Every structure is written in structure tokens, then in C-alpha cells.
A = this chain, B = another copy of it.
């Protein structure tokens, strides 16, 4: 609950860059290698890798290496934290300040 805040720091920070948001968007279509992900960007690989590391650090993606290829996968559940924070805000300004704990501490369930 204290670390909820620092997690949000990392998540929002990671999403505050267009390159990283684009990577998240791409990974939404399915896993991809670092090379594939980097291709669309006019940027040296080491620079691009920093973005990958930051996304992984924020928990927004997972990566694993097979041979010389590192494959990245999106971690959808982490975006739920953003969703949770938004719900929290909405709850506040709608006057429903109760039930906040639910948004904050548990992963949001498929809201269908």
C-alpha cells in the first residue's frame, strides 16, 4: 500500500515516453524480439534497450532470452494498476470515497 505508490511512479514514468508507449502498443499484438521492436525507431540499439529495461523495471513487460534473441511479452495486469488509480480518482470526485481499498490493493477483475 506504500509500495503501491512507488509502483505507480514507475508505471506512469515508463508510460511518459512515446517510444515506450509504442512498444507497449506493439506488444499488445503479441510477443516480439528486441530487434523487431527496435526496427521502427531511428535510434541506436543501446538507447532502445534502455526503454526496454525501463518497461521491464516497471513490470509492464516481461522478457526472456533464447539463444541470442530476447523476446518481450506484455504484462497486461500492470496496466490494471493505472486503471485502478483512475477508478480511485473517479470515486473521489464522485464522492464515493469508501471502497477505495478495493481499487488500490487488489487486481481489478475483468469488469464485464
Q: Establish whether residues A25 and B79, one from each chain, have CB atoms under 8 Å apart when the complex forms.
A: no
A-B pairs, 9 with minimum CB distance: A28-B92, A12-B16, A28-B93, A13-B16, A12-B15, A5-B18, A12-B12, A28-B89, A9-B16
Task: Count contacts on A: residues with CB < 8 A to the other chain.
Answer: 27
A99 within 8 A of partner (CB)? no
A21 within 8 A of partner (CB)? yes
Which chain A residues (61-111) contact chain B, with CB distance < 8 Å? 74, 76, 79, 82-83, 85-86, 88-89, 92-93, 97
Using a CB–CB cutoff of 8 Å, the interface residues on chain A facing chain B are: 5-6, 8-9, 12-13, 15-18, 21, 24-25, 28-29, 74, 76, 79, 82-83, 85-86, 88-89, 92-93, 97
